[in-house]
Amino acid sequence: MKKVLVDGHYGTVNLNINQMLRDRSDLEVIYLENTKSVPKEQRVNLLNTADVVILCQSAQTVVETIPLITNREVKVIDTSNANRMSPTWVYGMPELSQEQRAKICGARFVALPAPIAVGTVALINPLLKGKIMPPFLPLYVNSVVGYSSGGANMITMYEDPNRPRAYSSARQYGLDQNILQQKEIMHACGISYRPSLNPMIDDYPNGILVTVPLQLRTLAKRLHSRQIWETINRFYERERLIEVEPFEGSVEKLGGFMDAGGMAGSNKMQIFVFGDNDICLLAVRFDNLGKGGAGAVIQNMNLMLGIDEYRGVLTD
């Protein structure tokens, strides 16, 4: 039986990782929520006797923890932003390519992507791989996410009955456009310039919607939006966690509106393509606690352990 150590309690992954691992009879799971509650020697022993260590820690704590893992047989998943662009860590998004999935299978160190980056890369990677979108194209990315994205502290703030009035409306952040996910997106799919990110947090628990508008005349190939959909649909046709919705009828099916929390509670992603011969709108929604959080951790962990990739992840 494989041994999994969940080390720490920081960040959004910690919000439901325990629940996702609870029913895994094939794993021995150890939770070390308070790393200061056990002697250092005991913690080091746990870190070096697990098959996989899942680090639910701040980036600074991760940097301090990694040197303690001296057993080269131990595999590590970092849920912080400390190693997402490190050349010695594998980016934990299997859907990038079959080559990426193989890298994760053989990796010792895997870094969990940020939800905004996951959504953006899922939308544009098929077009980059198909040489439809040039890597130097200016990109504008809009997103809205639930308040659980800020972790336990932000959840407490939003659910406080005496909270500020501003919390009742959508709030944009990243106003200075100095956002780490910009570089992460560049790293993950090889675009040349920082995309403009317009992220918002809103008054609902969980779920994220990411949209990327495209002026079709600026692409390497002038295509209709339906051909863009065909490219994306073909790219993901064998991916069990990504559902590409039909091009025709999607707007009517949605009633003209797309709610950002529409995939809350799921570990899948839902991709839409809208538009005509001039402007195309790419959209993806998923749960920032599922495919954007603990669900992605479990998927990567399964691959690293040689277990069915979707065990404990795909429930429908």
Residue 316 lies in a domain: no
125 with 193, same domain: the answer is yes
Written as tens digits, the pLDDT of the chain (316 aa) is 999 999 998 888 888 898 899 889 999 999 997 767 788 899 999 999 999 999 999 999 999 999 999 999 999 999 999 999 999 999 999 999 999 999 999 999 999 999 999 999 999 999 999 999 999 999 999 999 999 999 989 999 999 999 999 999 999 999 999 999 999 999 999 999 999 999 999 999 999 999 999 999 999 988 999 999 999 999 999 999 999 999 999 999 999 999 999 999 999 999 999 999 999 999 999 999 999 999 999 999 999 999 999 999 986 5
58 with 104, same domain: the answer is yes
Among 240, 303, 297, 244, residue whose Cα is nearest residue 273: 244
Q: What is the CATH number of the domain that holds 277?
A: 3.30.360.10
145 with 253, same domain: the answer is yes
What is residue 172's three-state secondary structure?
Answer: strand
Q: At residue 100, what is the residue type?
A: Q
Q: What is the pLDDT of residue 38?
A: 83
Q: What is the CATH number of the domain that holds 65?
A: 3.40.50.720
66 with 130, same domain: the answer is no
Among 30, 51, 54, 52, residue whose Cα is nearest residue 42: 30
Q: At residue 256, what is the residue type?
A: G
196 with 282, same domain: the answer is yes
Among 255, 215, 211, 14, residue whose Cα is nearest residue 116: 211
For 17, residues 6+ apart whose C-beta sits below 8 A from its C-beta are 6, 54, 56, 294, 297, 298
Evaluate whether 268 touches 293 at the Cβ level (below 8 Å): no
Residue 101 lies in a domain: yes
Residue 171 lies in a domain: yes
Q: At residue 50, what is the residue type?
A: A
Q: What is the pLDDT of residue 10?
A: 87
Among 29, 27, 21, 22, residue whose Cα is nearest residue 46: 29
Residue 314 lies in a domain: no
Residue 158 lies in a domain: yes
CA atoms within 13 A on the CB side of 146: 25
| pTM of this structure | 0.95
Among 128, 126, 135, 117, residue whose Cα is nearest residue 238: 126
42 with 152, same domain: the answer is no
26 with 82, same domain: the answer is yes
Among 56, 232, 211, 220, residue whose Cα is nearest residue 144: 211
Residue 282 lies in a domain: yes
First to last CA, the chain: 26
Q: What is the pLDDT of residue 316?
A: 59
Among 50, 22, 10, 43, residue whose Cα is nearest residue 298: 22
134 with 273, same domain: the answer is yes
Residue 313 lies in a domain: no
212 with 284, same domain: the answer is yes
210 with 78, same domain: the answer is no
Residue 310 lies in a domain: no
Helices within the chain (DSSP H only): 17-21, 40-49, 59-65, 98-105, 115-129, 151-158, 180-189, 225-235, 250-254, 295-305
Give CA–CA dist 88/103, Å, rounded.
12
83 with 126, same domain: the answer is no
187 with 245, same domain: the answer is yes
Q: What are phi and psi of 30, to 5 degrees?
A: -120, 130
- For residue 158, give its domain range: 115-288
For 309, residues 6+ apart whose C-beta sits below 8 A from its C-beta are 94, 299, 302, 303
Please state, as a whole number, how many other Cβ atoms lie within 10 Å of the Cβ of residue 166: 9
- The label of the residue with tokens 């709030």 reads 171
Per the structure, the count of domains in the chain is 2
